[in-house]
Amino acid sequence: MKQVIFSDAAPKAVGPYSQAVRAGHLLFISGQLPLVPATMKIEAETVAAQAEQVFANMKAILNQAGLGFEHLVKTTVLLADIRDFAAVNEVYARYFTGDFPARAAYQVAALPLGAKVEIEAIAHFD
């Protein structure tokens, strides 16, 4: 079974992809940029503030699927500058209380729309 998940409280996709797709007991959340849903613009300037917006967007998608951050099993953090890892990690740590998801983090050559951070995730339905 494949089901597209869409939340009006998260930014619309900026290309031909879905915000998230449920496949069986897994939810695959596309990379979330720090776009403000109402304006579809990056309004935050610091990487920490951008990470907060990314998590707000991810929360909206998780909520639409009836899930929360505790359901995440894997995340991938993409950074425009790996030196921002510590600042993003501080924000990241506030969203998880234990049983942390597996994670990878990479510096990339560039992110869409000049973002400093993008995070994709996989969640599990209990």
Largest CA distance in the chain: 40
How many residues make up the chain in this entry? 126
pLDDT band per the 50, 70, 90 thresholds, residue 17: very high
Q: What is the pTM (predicted TM-score) of this model?
A: 0.96
Nearest one of 51, 87, 93 to 69, comparing CA atoms? 93
Locate 23 and state its tokens: 């496949």
What dotted CATH number matches 2-124? Answer: 3.30.1330.40
Residue 14: predicted pLDDT: 86
* 50 phi and psi angles, rounded to 5 deg: -65, -40
pLDDT tens-digit map of 95-106: 998 899 999 999
Q: Where are the domains of the chain?
A: 2-124
Q: CB count, 10 Å around CB of 98?
A: 5
Residue 126: predicted pLDDT: 85
